[in-house]
Amino acid sequence: MQKLTKALLVAALLPVMAVAQVSTQFIKGSWKELTNRARKEHKPIFIDTYFEGCHACKDMEVKVFPRPEVKKYMEENFICTGYDVFKEEFGMEMCRKYFMRGFPTYLVISGDGQLLDRSSGYQEPDRFMAFLKNNIVRYKAGKTLAGFGNSLSSKDPAFYRAMWDKNYKGGDKDEIAGYLAKQKDKLAESTFKVMQMTAVLPDDYRTFYLKNRGAYLDRFGEDLNINIMDKLLKQDIAALPAALDKAAFDVFLQKQQAVYRPEDWNYVQMYYAENYLYKKCKDVRAFLEFAAAHPDRNENRVRYMQFYLGAELAKDAALKAQYLKWADAVVTADASLENLQGLVRMSRGVDQAQARKFLGWVIDKKKSWGDDTAKEEAELKNFGS
């Protein structure tokens, strides 16, 4: 969103600065000005946080925000603003408030200052529109992530706020542990944010978190809670042998299934498989066999594992077939365009029926965006009926 640094115009309704953009009109203002305007117009606030030089941020600015359907929906339903987190103090304060470490990150805030939801990274138009529409549903239902207070100020310790200092060297684990040990409310905003800083949760926090995971999700959302889950799962894997032992892994899974919620289990077991079978034991075949037998609908894992495994899949036809078997069980027409295009390339010459299916989904997706599909349709004809 680098266009936010260009000439500013005065908005008519409030003394809030607005930016003329090819894409959606983004305004500038203080927290009070933005929330006042949101209440007056009965709209939530969409906040884009970015920095100059961020490729994903630039892609959103160039490829997504200017699209007519996106522009129209945002202007009709949101008060839109954006901040460079390295150049604007207001952007940095939002980083501290909402524990933002990767960009772009998108926040949706109610006129009362409550966080409705957040998301991050480059998002293709259909995914981004789904995020926006879901937030309008949440806004109308009054559903917020109430764990975060409704003002930018919060009672965060100095060592936490220092994370966003220019010369930050990392936190003192004893200071972090000491702070957590003193907290009476493990569901408090500042406590939850400091939990993000520790590599290993204290035992009492681990027990409390697993017992109250639903409450944490309701209060703080999925995005940050994934960080907590991954800490726990990484700690679990340390108990497994360094060399592949499938029998030990099976026993481990049976034991761990009793620890985690049923609704989390698909994510949990695939985390174990990726991080133990593939990363720790370096056994690609064992990982792919497990993944194909336990599909979890995480198409993003299929996408990035294609990147990691590309060289090995190119050399081993059996491994490639196993990868495509996994992809076929996980990936749907709603997958990202990047993923679908990669799968077309991967399956071409291996499984023509599968290649036709993925290519058909590419065409449907691009057509829904209003993009040209002549190249893909010509390729589809070459596959035959």
Peptide bond into 68 cis (omega under 30): no
- Extract the tokens encoding 172: 């003192």
pLDDT in tens, 271-314: 999 999 999 999 999 999 999 999 998 999 999 999 999 999 99
Q: What pLDDT, on the 0 to 100 scale, is given for residue 382?
A: 85
Spatial separation of the C-alpha atoms in residues 125 and 121, rounded to whole Å: 12
Residue 25: is its pLDDT beyond 90? Answer: no
pLDDT higher than 70, residue 11: no
pLDDT band at 385 (very low <50, low <70, confident <90, very high): low
Which segments of the chain are extended strands (E)?
8-10, 17-19, 26-28, 45-50, 79-84, 105-109, 115-120
Cβ neighbors of 229 (< 8 A, separation 6 or more) are 264, 267, 268, 271
Quote the pTM value: 0.90
> Which residue is listed with tokens 């996408």?
303
Cα 160 to Cα 96: distance, rounded to the nearest angstrom: 8
Contacts of 156 (CB under 8 A, 6+ apart): 96, 190, 193, 194
d(CA 249, CA 220): 32
Per-residue pLDDT at 14 exceeds 60: no
In this prediction, residue 287 carries a pLDDT of: 98
Q: Specify whether the CB–CB gap between 85 and 49 falls below 8 A.
A: yes
* Residue in 19, 94, 5 with CA at minimum distance from that of residue 58: 5
Q: What's the whole-number average pLDDT of the chain?
A: 92
Which tokens belong to 15? 């003394």
Residue 366 tokens read as: 């691009």
Q: What is the distance between the alpha carbons of residues 219 and 185, in angstroms, rounded to a whole number?
A: 13
Spatial separation of the C-alpha atoms in residues 26 and 28, rounded to whole Å: 7
Q: What is the pLDDT of residue 20?
A: 34
Arithmetic mean of pLDDT, 167-185: 95
Provide CATH code, domain 2-141.
3.40.30.10
**Tokens, residue 292:** 């194909």
Q: Mean pLDDT, to the nearest integer, of 110-137? A: 98
Kindly state the percentage of the chain with pLDDT values over 90: 89
Residue spans per domain, the chain: 2-141
Asked whether the beta carbons of 51 and 104 are under 8 A apart, the reply is no
For residue range 48-87, list pLDDT tens digits in order: 999 999 999 999 999 999 999 999 999 999 999 999 999 9
The per-residue pLDDT for 154 is 84
- ∠ Cα 166 171 172 (to 5°): 140
